[in-house]
Amino acid sequence: MFLDTKRAVDRMAAHLLANGVLAAPLHGGRTQPQRTRTLDQFKRGDVTALIATNVAARGIHVDGLDLVVNIDPPTDHKDYLHRGGRTARAGESGNVVTLVMPAQRRDMTRLVGRARIEPRTLGAGADTPELAEVTGAREPSGLPVTVRSTVPQERARAQTPRGRRRPRR
């Protein structure tokens, strides 16, 4: 899933976890070890929903990724194509679902026109069978979950009295 801001990514991941979906945030505000661990968890299937910003998405490569969901539609057709390009690698196929509010329709029509895409448009609600068919959506358990890591926790970085980091040894 793609959202526009780091804060929105964190909120969505927390919301999904609280409702039974194994989700993890990926954005530039996380450390490189955190981003690496999150991607590894997603590739292993320990995390089933990766929530990312545009910037973080630039470096994502996951074999077999068959679905991208745009919650915040991008404003640029190149970003749209780049997000969708996370699927359909090496001759594979994939789906891109973009949630569009009525006020966003005109902009999305222009965007997909610039991207030379002919989208299949669905009027969708929470119980729309076509949306569930495309996304494979299931009702979450509603029970909070936590993502387990097989990687040891990162060491807390020691600070000098002046607030500067100590050099690594």
Taking only the tens place, the pLDDT of each residue in 95-118 is: 888 888 889 999 999 999 999 988
Residue 160: band (very low, low, confident or very high) from pLDDT cuts 50, 70, 90 = very low
**169 has pLDDT over 70:** no
**151 has pLDDT over 90:** no
Percent of the chain with pLDDT over 90: 25
* Per-residue pLDDT at 2: 79
Question: CA nearest 15: which of 145, 139, 149?
Answer: 145
19 vs 84, which has greater pLDDT? 19
Residue 87: band (very low, low, confident or very high) from pLDDT cuts 50, 70, 90 = low
Does the predicted TM-score (pTM) go above 0.75? no
Tokens of 132: 């569930």
* Per-residue pLDDT at 67: 83
Per the CB < 8 A criterion, the answer to whether 134 and 102 are in contact is no
**Average of pLDDT values for 54-65?**
73
* Per-residue pLDDT at 28: 87
128 vs 147, which has greater pLDDT? 147
Query: Per residue, what are the HEC states of the chain?
Result: CECCCHHHHHHHHHHHHHCCCCEEEECCCCCHHHHHHHHHHHHHCCCCEEEECHHHHCCCCCCCCCEEEECCCCCCHHHHHHHHCCCCHHHCCCEEEECCCHHHHHHHHHHHHHCCCCCCCCCCCCCCHHHHHHHCCCCCCCCCCCCCCCCCCCCCCCECCCCCECCCC
> What architecture (CATH level 2) is domain 6-135?
3-Layer(aba) Sandwich (3.40)
**166 has pLDDT over 70:** no
Tokens of 27: 């954005």
* Per-residue pLDDT at 3: 80
Distance CA 118, CA 65 (A): 21
Distance CA 129, CA 114 (A): 29
Q: pLDDT averaged over the chain?
A: 80
- Boundaries of every domain in the chain: 6-135
**48 has pLDDT over 80:** yes
* Per-residue pLDDT at 167: 55
Sign of CA dihedral 141, 54, 4, 150: positive
Per the CB < 8 A criterion, the answer to whether 28 and 53 are in contact is yes
Q: Is 120 left (phi over 0), alpha (psi -120 to 50) or beta?
A: beta
